[in-house]
Amino acid sequence: MHSWVQTLLKPEPVALMVALILLVSLISGMRRGASGSAKHLFFFVWQAIAVIVSLVLAGRGAVYLSPLVRDWLAARDIAVPKEDLGALKQFWYTAVTSLRDFELLRFGVLFLLLYIVMRVVINALEPVLFGLLDAVLPARGRDGRGRGGSPLIAGTASRTTGALIGALLGGGRAFILMACLFVYVSVLPNAFGTDIIRASALYNKTASELLDPVAGDVLKRGPVITQAVEAEFRRVLERKYEVIDAAIPPDIGAAAAAVTKGDKSDEQKARALYDWVGTRIAYDWDKADNYVERGVWKEQAPEDTFKTRKGVCIDVARLYAVMARSVGLDVRVVTGVGMTGDGGYGPHAWNEVKLADGGGAWIPLDATWASSGDWFNPPGFDKTHIREA
């Protein structure tokens, strides 16, 4: 106990937050007295139980329902219409097809919905439980007497008991704070403020003696889980472009047909389109600088890129995808990071094309980089392009 008090008394941010929580809870308990503090303690414990039960049931329910929802959506044979779609339809087809195809997203949505349902059901029981609690611990009136008129356990004894219960509540709240900090540091080890948290003696003692033995093995995978979530949302972004660009403008379709005229194999068509896009579309440095320096992003459709003959990597990749689909190729826009001139990596986009007549293999290509060399399925492509998926 002495060592815990010593860590709590050290003047650092985490210890100060915990001390403030304990002090406020103790004073509040003293003011409420024994009866009021007991009700707050019951409410605190009830809420903790409700959260734990809801999380467990939602997790198990999501695991059970996820494959059922996937199979049900797959049986619907949902296909994105080859026409211009409004914003609402774009959102609908992106959401439905992503739920069907992306397991982590589907689990997350089901988990959230089931958790909300569980909390609604459990919260519906609160009036009954609190009514029973009121019968056992009657509320203190303004005159310090109970509903029946008999004196309550008041004065110093009531305030002392209330303060003790308040301190217990403060300990529970402080533990929740420490648990939240533990999850934050474990899942996002390089995020804002993590250095300050790790420097706290109180946090380190709580984490090593109480939290890590229980959840450490799970949360050590936190960064991996975070990367998986980021990758899943990146796949949803890629799906969004597939839905938005499902319609093929006539002029782009005609150009693609002319470019691939006489080509027989999928690889020949893919190569011809790569050469055409790579030599016709100039990199829009003004657009890139606007985004990097001012945070201003100009969204443009493939038809805009086709007409202006300018665009950044995502614009080039989207135009290539639309042209490739118009001649029957199975293609996708890939987002991730690409190697920069200084040896680092930065956000980038490119394409993958399926060679249906060549064994069904997917090959990568980067028409944006065509002016710097041959980036049509070259050896070592994955060393310069890292797909975050």
pLDDT digits (tens, 9 = 90+) for 169-211: 888 888 888 888 877 777 677 778 888 888 888 888 877 777 7
Give just the sign of the alpha carbon dihedral 231, 235, 241, 243.
negative
What domains can be seen in the chain, in order of their start residue?
Answer: 2-143+151-226 (no CATH), 249-387 (3.10.620.30)
Higher pLDDT, 153 or 348: 348
Give 276's pLDDT tier (boundaries 50, 70, 90). Answer: very high
- Confidence at residue 255, expressed as pLDDT on a 0 to 100 scale: 95
**Is 50 exceeded by the pLDDT of residue 148?**
no
Distance CA(59)–CA(111), nearest Å, equals 6
CA distances from residue 307 to 201, 281, 284, 360 in whole angstroms, order as listed: 62, 10, 13, 33
Residue 94 has pLDDT above 90, yes or no: no
Taking phi over 0 as left and psi of -120 to 50 as alpha, with beta for the rest, 347 belongs to beta
Q: Tell me which of 311 and 35 has the higher pLDDT.
A: 311
Nearest to 320 by CA among 240, 245, 237, 243: 245
Q: With a cut of 70, say whether residue 87 has pLDDT above it.
A: yes
pLDDT in the model for residue 183:
74
Residue 278, pLDDT > 50, answer yes
| pLDDT tens per residue, range 331-374 | 989 888 898 877 788 889 999 999 988 788 999 999 999 988 99
Mean pLDDT along residues 19-26: 86
Q: How far apart are the C-alpha atoms of 389 and 387, rounded to whole Å?
A: 6
- 258 or 220: which carries more pLDDT confidence? 258
The tokens describing 267, both together, are: 């690889």
Pick the more confident residue, 318 or 104. 318
pLDDT tens digits, 35-76: 777 777 877 887 888 888 888 888 899 889 999 999 999 888
Residue 78 has pLDDT above 80, yes or no: yes
Average pLDDT for 9-18? 80
Smallest CA-to-CA distance from 242 within 383, 74, 76, 78 is with: 78
Q: In the predicted model, what is the mean pLDDT of residues 133-160?
A: 56
Q: pLDDT at position 141, please? A: 44
In the predicted model, what is the mean pLDDT of residues 136-159?
Answer: 54
Q: Name residue 186's amino acid.
A: S
Query: Average pLDDT, whole number, for the chain?
Result: 82
Task: Please report the pLDDT score of residue 67 as a whole number.
Answer: 92
Residue 214 — pLDDT band, cuts 50, 70, 90? Answer: low
What's the confidence (pLDDT) of residue 226? 57
Conformation bin of residue 375: beta by default, left when phi > 0, alpha when psi is -120 to 50: alpha
Q: Which residues pair with 145 in a beta bridge?
A: 151
Please report, rounded to a whole number, the percentage of residues in the chain having pLDDT higher than 70. 84
CA 224, 226, 229, 235 dihedral sign is: negative
Q: What is the pLDDT of residue 150?
A: 44
Q: For residues 249 and 306, is the Cβ–Cβ distance under 8 A?
A: yes
144 confidence band (pLDDT: 50, 70, 90): very low
pLDDT tier for residue 147 given thresholds of 50, 70 and 90:
very low
The token pair that represents 103 in the structure block: 């397991």
Report phi then psi at 82, rounded to 5: -85, 65
pLDDT at position 273: 96
